[in-house]
Amino acid sequence: SQKIEQNSEALNIQEGKTATLTCNYTNYSPAYLQWYRQDPGRGPVFLLLIRENEKEKRKERLKVTFDTTLKQSLFHITASQPADSATYLCALGLSMLTFGGGTRLMVKP
Amino acid sequence: GAVVSQHPSWVICKSGTSVKIECRSLDFQATTMFWYRQFPKQSLMLMATSNEGSKATYEQGVEKDKFLINHASLTLSTLTVTSAHPEDSSFYICSASFGGKSGTEAFFGQGTRLTVV
């Protein structure tokens, strides 16, 4: 069956460190993979989109990698800040999306 | 960027009543709109896809007679939860795309918290 897995346990890191979140999927061959940020009680906010023919994408302190052989994407936040604390969702697709369960990131000052 | 607005942000209704949630694309024409539902501590689950002027396509397990979707214009889609029950309490989120079902990325609304008492 199709599955998108993100670490369901919260990730706690110290301010200034790099946060790395993982998204693994099975039985999908997505042309696009996206990462979103979601704060409690709010809709998801788009962060980055990466295409299947792209290995890596960057935007300011964010970096996403996409390994279609491993069926995995890694999402990095460098120089993390307490304001980065949120739930991060991985999603497959372009407009009609299938979401992973999300990983909650807590950045401590 | 493209802006999608949902209304209301939250609503409390009595069991057995119906509730309408609006999703508007403010600065673009949305050919396709998507409705998702998110239960506490769970991820977003797609409920249905609606294309302007045609019937919505519902995902497996979503009752089309209970969750009525209307996409009468290129800037507005509505989701009506009919005969709501406490188990329908959830966070409902819409997104809108202006390129068709697989054309372009989608932009999300801020969500509507529905509580049925």
**B105 contacts A89? CB cut-off 8 A:** no
Per DSSP, the three-state class of A103 is strand
What is the C-alpha to C-alpha distance for residues A47 and A11, in angstroms, rounded to an integer?
19
A97: nearest CB among B6, B91, B106: B106
Average pLDDT score over residue span B51-60? 90
Q: Which residues in chain B are closer than 8 Å to A42, comparing Cβ atoms?
A: 110-111
Q: Which residues in chain B are closer than 8 Å to A23, comparing Cβ atoms?
A: none
**A41 contacts B91? CB cut-off 8 A:** yes
Average pLDDT score over residue span B11-28? 95
pLDDT of B83 reads 97
B43: nearest CB among A42, A45, A89: A89
Residues in Cβ contact with A60 at an 8 Å cutoff, skipping those fewer than 6 apart: none
Read off the pLDDT band of B76 (50, 70, 90).
Answer: very high
pLDDT of B54 reads 86
A43: nearest CB among B101, B103, B111: B111
Phi and psi angles of residue B87, each rounded to the nearest 5 degrees, phi first: -70, -10
Interchain contact B42–A (C-beta under 8 A): yes
Q: What is the DSSP track for B55-74?
A: --EEPTT--TTTEEEEEEET
Distance, in angstroms, between B37 CA and closest chain A CA? 11
Q: What percent of chain B has pLDDT over 90?
A: 74
**Among candidates A16, A13, A61, A63, which has minimal Cα distance to A35?**
A63
**B101 contacts A96? CB cut-off 8 A:** yes
Average pLDDT score over residue span B24-39? 92
- Which range has the worst mean pLDDT, A41-45, A57-61, B51-55, B97-101? B97-101
pLDDT of B99 reads 64
What is the C-alpha to C-alpha distance for residues A25 and A5, in angstroms, rounded to an integer?
6
Q: Could you say which DSSP state residue A83 is in?
A: G
Read off the pLDDT band of B66 (50, 70, 90).
Answer: very high
pLDDT of A106 reads 97
What is the C-alpha to C-alpha distance for residues B11 and B14, in angstroms, rounded to an integer?
10
Q: Could you say which DSSP state residue B98 is in?
A: S
- What tokens were used for A85? 């604390």
Segment-wise mean pLDDT, segments of 10 residues, chain A, 109 residues = 87 97 94 95 94 95 96 97 98 94 96
pLDDT of B41 reads 86
Residue with token string 């202006």: B98
Question: Please, what is the average pLDDT of chain B?
Answer: 92
Average pLDDT score over residue span B69-82? 93
What is the C-alpha to C-alpha distance for residues A46 and B4, in angstroms, rounded to an integer?
12
Read off the pLDDT band of B80 (50, 70, 90).
Answer: very high
Taking the CA of residue A73 as centre, how many other CA atoms within 13 Å lie in the half-sphere pointing to its CB?
37
Residue with token string 């990698």: A65
**B103 contacts A97? CB cut-off 8 A:** no
Give the number of beta-carbon pairs within 8 Å between A and B: 60
Decide if A91 contacts A24 (C-beta within 8 A): no
What is the C-alpha to C-alpha distance for residues A33 and A98, in angstroms, rounded to an integer?
10
